[in-house]
Amino acid sequence: MDWGMRNRLARMFPGGENGNAVMLAVDHGYFMGPTHHLEDARATIAPLLPYADAVALTRGILRTSVPSTSATPVMLRVSGGATVLKEDLSHETITTAMRDAARLNVCGVALSVFVGAPHEHESLVNLSKLVDEGEEAGIPVMAITAVGKELEKRDARYLALACRVSAELGAHLVKTYYCDGFEKVVEGCPVPLVVAGGPKLDSDRAALELAHSAIAKGAHGIDMGRNIWQSDHPVAMLKALRAIVHEKATVAEAMDVLGSAKGRAPAAASARA
């Protein structure tokens, strides 16, 4: 792996090669439109940015809603082409060129892969081509094992297959979902895995439990959205998640972090400083 690729990965995974990352996912609008609490992306993202090891978004939201002075590494979503108005979300293509990703100074590019879906073949070919381009540019590629509208697909057998296929085709990182038997997903995937949160859970505690279980079973971090910015206390939630991902906090300890952070206004100092 060349220096540029290693440097970009290290910026997102501050603990080094075996480190973990807290990524903030705010890319939902690319197929869902103005998602609840992300209508004004700039306002939602601003207080969270200092506490994220990376922010995952599209070039449109990056250019319009993130200050160019931001020090937070960017994981740029580069796939799209379908919306929730259509039944088949798998009909995606690469929507952003690698040269634009390089121009935006990103630390990684991400695309969805739809294993078992009508456009499985296209999404896997997209991944392979993107990896070729990423290797050339020194930009890591994250495959997202998307399930479209079929949330029930999030079981270990399916996700282990989708993650392994993504790694075999050269993905440097894979984002997937937590599931029962998650250790099987980790075991079969030779590159680092980060987990999404999925739709908002019943409580902040449930989201912290999900993150804790994922890390305990071998995930290298989270790439979470709705369970952070749809929480009543997004900054406190992100701080509590950081405690789990970076400090091996228990759920009870993370709840304490959440409780004490709720009372405080977001600190001006950067968590990345």
Q: Are strands 79-80 and 93-94 parallel, antiparallel or unpaired?
A: antiparallel
Residues 48-67 that bind ligand 5RP (CB under 6 A): 56
| CA pair distance 239, 188, nearest whole angstrom | 30
Between 123 and 227, name the residue whose CB sits nearer to ligand 5RP: 227
- Residue 76: CB minimum distance to ligand 5RP, A: 12
- Residue 105: CB minimum distance to ligand 5RP, A: 20
Helix (H) or strand (E) holding 109: strand 108-113
Do 237 and 228 contact (CB within 8 A), yes or no?
Answer: yes
Please confirm, yes or no, whether 129 is among the known catalytic residues.
no
| Burial per residue of 164-200, b for 16 or more beta-carbon CB atoms within 10 angstroms, e otherwise | bbbbebbbbbbbbbbbeebebbbeebebbbbbbbbeb
- Residue 263: CB minimum distance to ligand 5RP, A: 25
Q: Which of 21, 94, 98, 196 binds ligand 5RP (CB under 6 A)?
A: 196
Instruction: Using the rule CB under 6 A, give the single segment among 11-19, 42-50, 97-105, 225-233 that binds ligand 5RP.
Output: 225-233
Burial class (CB in 10 A: 0-12, 13-18, 19+), 113: buried
Computed from CA positions of residues 187, 192, 196, 202, in that sequence, does the dihedral angle turn out positive or negative? positive
Between 25 and 66, name the residue whose CB sits nearer to ligand 5RP: 25
Do 57 and 91 contact (CB within 8 A), yes or no?
Answer: no
Count of residues touching ligand 5RP (by CB under 6 A): 13
Q: Which of 223, 240, 241, 249 binds ligand 5RP (CB under 6 A)?
A: 223
234 binds ligand 5RP (CB under 6 A): no
Local structure of 74: helix, strand or coil: strand
Q: Which of 5, 111, 191, 224 binds ligand 5RP (CB under 6 A)?
A: 224
- Catalytically active residues are 175
Interface ranges with ligand 5RP (CB under 6 A): 25, 27-28, 56, 144, 196-198, 223-227
